[in-house]
Structure 1
Amino acid sequence: MAGHNHGHTPAAWTGVTIAFIGFCVAGAFTVAAKPVGFWAGIVIVALGGVVGAAMRAAGLGMPKSQHPQPQPAAKSQPQAQAQTQQ
């Protein structure tokens, strides 16, 4: 992933930061046994996803042409050992 510049965009950083704040809020209110605060934190988490998607749609995310392509699956370990023993 390091070679693909994965997630280093303003949209990704903003969305993740907002979601992280939401998780912290929800966690704090869970410990305090305040259900309303917990659900407010969950709403903030969802807001992080919405803001990140909106920023990506506005052009602040990674362009589609730069998205990493999936790599073919490597051979499983037992198959690779069997082939080397032959």
Structure 2
Amino acid sequence: MAHSHGHTPAAWTGSIIAFVGFCVGSAFMVVAQPVGVIAGLALTLAGAVVGGLMRAAGLGQKKSNGMTAEELQAYKQAHAKAHS
């Protein structure tokens, strides 16, 4: 797992927009205004879209392909050596 899990501009922006949308939708649900609830839902979904677009633009966490075969073999050897 990467050390910056979730600490990227894309993650923060998407989460904040979705949180605001959730708050808007919740507030309008309490006052029984369906249009506001739908607007809050749309804003929440917009947070996911914006976060995804920002990640695609390079502002998100990079994908990790895991260990290479050589790294895995070295890890296994070190692990076996440490436990023998």
State the shift of 1:65 in Å. Answer: 2.4
Structure 1: gaps (5+ residues): 68-86
Q: Deviations over 1:6-34 (max 9, x none)?
A: 10000000000000000000000000100
Structure 2: gaps (5+ residues): 67-84
State the shift of 1:66 in Å. Answer: 7.8
Question: Taking structure 1 as the reference length, what is the TM-score of the superposition?
Answer: 0.71
| Residue in 1 that maps onto 2:6 | 7
| Residue in 2 that maps onto 1:80 | none
| Residue in 1 that maps onto 2:64 | 65
- For this pair of structures, how many residues does the alignment match? 66
> SS at 1:63's partner residue?
coil
Question: Taking structure 2 as the reference length, what is the TM-score of the superposition?
Answer: 0.73
Q: Distance in 1 between matches of 2:41 and 2:65?
A: 31
Percent of pairs identical after alignment? 62
Q: Which runs of 4+ in 1 moved over 2 A?
A: none
> SS at 2:10's partner residue?
helix
| Residue in 2 that maps onto 1:72 | none
| Residue in 1 that maps onto 2:47 | 48
| Residue in 1 that maps onto 2:17 | 18
| Residue in 1 that maps onto 2:26 | 27
Q: Distance in 1 between matches of 2:35 and 2:48?
A: 21
| Residue in 2 that maps onto 1:37 | 36
Q: Distance in 2 between matches of 1:58 and 1:43?
A: 22
Q: Distance in 2 between matches of 1:32 and 1:56?
A: 36
